[in-house]
Structure 1
């Protein structure tokens, strides 16, 4: 597990800052920053806010207070998408409930829940556009209307297979983002 001090040092180095530059920008003592990065002390209050502001990152990205690792919950979160087979809009409602319930208590739920919801919203729009197009073309008796039905079936099948594959993959690497971010509706 990465400690707060190591996260700060890592972000500082990625931004190309020295300890002196960061301590000056964060308005804290250089020795305090050195102790924080060596995990001799933990930043609190104004020190933490100053460091995060100087690094340009939210405090939440540095701290994981009270969060536990639970790959089983992440697996369940990914599989909850399959609820859309049984419940209308279940592919959005069930992951949304699970995400809102545990995003502050379990590591990586924030990332996975947001990407699942973004993907499902885009998927829902695409599948509905395909189905509406199919029905409109079927009414006008266009010969290529069935192509849209086949495309809708393929898109539907992808949404049945992809969550199962991701549920398996998330057990191996819970920190990896498994859905493409097409459009970000939820952060």
Structure 2
């Protein structure tokens, strides 16, 4: 949908036609033209044909390109999902390694604590427009799975190694962290 409105707007500006002139030449309401260009609605067949005829755009090609955009977005979604899964596992593994690996000492546990604070703070800062639940599910799935595994395998060991507090703190920051940053007015 974004693709069609953008292409129509681009073609209109290239031809030096105002929205009012396009509305008059194509016998389409000005408000409809504005909504299409602002991607507020998708043009129907007849409306799209009238607009494309005035702008000398091939309607079928425009629709075909829009379908190609949808395929690209599916591939992008899959790649993003794989990346997020790998990132989640990496973050949880780093904190788990620093806090419970054999031979871990006080310094490595402090490092795990600091990482479990600052990495989620960084993520929150970069994703302020995302709501807390979505952020926690996207970036905290590794923490949730690691925490579940610890709770099943041994709560005492998780508390002794300071891993449970680190993971809970990370999840809390991901969920409530936006409250630490001021919103721009």
| TM-score normalised over the length of structure 1 | 0.35
Q: Is the helix fraction higher in 1 or 2?
A: 2
| TM-score normalised over the length of structure 2 | 0.35
